[in-house]
């Protein structure tokens, strides 16, 4: 994990979601592709402070922008609330775009 990834994770774990989002975006601008640990940390940070829309947007990016469909499936599995139609629609759309029918069927 990169320094930026560690920073995003630490900020998220300590309740600094806005700062974690800012560092996450700086990572992207710098050309650093976030891994599942970083995505999990920043989405979790959003959840902790009620940034639901930002969390959904990040979830969508995780699958469509970077193709982390398996990681997206893992995030759905550990969410502390049941996934809604929007989450499933987003996940299945990503599976369709990338041709991962086995993940879609498993979902």
Q: What is the pLDDT of residues 82-106, one digit of tens each?
A: 888 888 888 888 788 777 777 777 6
Q: What is the pLDDT of residues 4-39, one digit of tens each?
A: 788 988 998 898 999 999 999 999 899 888 887 888
- Measure the CA–CA gap between 9 and 40, rounded to whole angstroms: 8
Does residue 55 contact residue 40 with C-beta atoms inside 8 Å? no
The domain containing residue 34 runs over which residues?
Answer: 3-106
Cα 13 to the center of its chain, rounded Å = 15
**How many other CB atoms are there within 10 angstroms of residue 30's CB atom?**
9
pTM, rounded to two decimals: 0.64
How many domains does the structure of the chain reveal? 1
Alpha helical stretches, state H, the chain: 3-13, 17-29, 36-49, 52-64, 69-78, 85-98, 101-106
């Amino acid at each position: 994990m990169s320094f930026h990834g560690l920073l995003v994770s630490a900020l998220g774990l300590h309740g600094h979601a806005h700062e974690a989002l800012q560092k996450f975006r700086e990572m992207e601008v710098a050309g650093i592709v976030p891994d599942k640990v970083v995505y999990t940390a920043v989405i979790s940070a959003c959840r902790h402070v009620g940034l639901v829309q930002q969390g959904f947007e990040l979830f969508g990016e995780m699958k469509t922008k970077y193709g982390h469909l398996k990681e997206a499936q893992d995030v759905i599995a550990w969410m502390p609330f049941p996934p809604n139609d929007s989450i499933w629609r987003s996940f299945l759309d990503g599976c369709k775009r990338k041709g991962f029918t086995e993940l879609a069927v498993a979902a």
